[in-house]
Amino acid sequence: MKELSITRLLKSRIMFRSILGSSITRTVAFQSKPQYFVGSTLTGVRFNSNDAKFDQLKSIFNNKEALPKTETTKSTLNIDELLNNSIPDTNTILNSSEKFSLHEKFGFEQSREPSPREVAKNIRQFGTYSGRVVDVHYNNVSRSFGQVKRLVNENKIRYLQKVQSRYIRPAKYRKQLKREWWRRKFQAGFRDLLHQVNDARRRGY
């Protein structure tokens, strides 16, 4: 009886070991199959090529190129829109009655002296009269005569009338211009020297 019980125990242990061994090999064989992950998805991918790592990297780069480019365009700032929103419009400022109500109320815009550009646009005169005509404001004739005299002196009208009254040969006219240039240069130098002498005398030299 003892021998039968011992043999039964041995057979049961052998069967138990065989069962455990088969299950362990199955689990090891099942877990030994390669599984790869692409990107953030946890799906198994099977590659037919020998170099599986190279195929995995290739698939990752292809997925990056396939992404839409709207995200990069949204991140960029439109500079034109920012400038238009930050800089106020001049037309709205000029047309606003709040800032220029005092000028309109007291008539400051009417008494303002127009610029030469505005005057030229309003006159529309060409030829010999352009640049030699002076407007009379508020019946102030003496001021207008002073402006005319200043224009005559600036444009050297008397000198040109004297020079152009007779015909002068071109060579002689060139010599005359050179002589006048030297005369103006000497006059400016003499005035500078006289100013230095008067300044030194004033300081006690």
Task: Kindly tell me if the per-residue pLDDT of 80 is higher than 80.
Answer: no
What pLDDT band is residue 203 in, cutting at 50, 70 and 90? very high
Q: How far apart are CA 148 and CA 145, in angstroms?
A: 5
Check residue 139 and give left, alpha or beta (phi > 0: left; psi -120 to 50: alpha): left
Residue 20 within a domain: yes
DSSP string over 126-183? -GGGTTT-----TT-HHHHHHHHHHHHHHHTHHHHHHHTTS---HHHHHHHHHHHHHH
Q: Please say which residue of 73, 92, 113 terminates a domain.
A: 73
Round the average pLDDT of the chain to a whole number and report it. Answer: 69
Residue 124 within a domain: no
Task: Kindly tell me if the per-residue pLDDT of 29 is higher than 50.
Answer: no
β-strand partners of 41 = 38
> Residue 14: which of 1, 2, 25, 6 has the closest Cα?
6
What pLDDT band is residue 115 in, cutting at 50, 70 and 90? confident
What pLDDT band is residue 73 in, cutting at 50, 70 and 90? very low
What is the model's pLDDT at position 69? 52
Residue 106 within a domain: no
Residue 157 within a domain: no
pTM score, two decimals? 0.30
Paired tokens of 65: 């190129």
| Residue 12: domain span | 2-73
What pLDDT band is residue 185 in, cutting at 50, 70 and 90? very high
Total domain count for the chain?
A: 2
What is the model's pLDDT at position 14? 66
Name which residue leads in pLDDT, 16 or 44.
16
The answer to whether 151 touches 130, Cβ cutoff 8 Å, is no
Task: Kindly tell me if the per-residue pLDDT of 32 is higher than 90.
Answer: no
What is the model's pLDDT at position 20? 53
Residue 14 within a domain: yes
Residue 163 within a domain: no
Name which residue leads in pLDDT, 29 or 94.
94
Paired tokens of 183: 């005369």
Residue 186 within a domain: yes
Residue 177 one-letter amino acid: L
Q: How far apart are CA 192 and CA 59, in angstroms?
A: 86
Q: Please say which residue of 73, 88, 119 terminates a domain.
A: 73
The answer to whether 134 touches 147, Cβ cutoff 8 Å, is yes
Task: Kindly tell me if the per-residue pLDDT of 107 is higher than 80.
Answer: no
Residue 129 within a domain: no
Q: Please say which residue of 38, 73, 108 terminates a domain.
A: 73
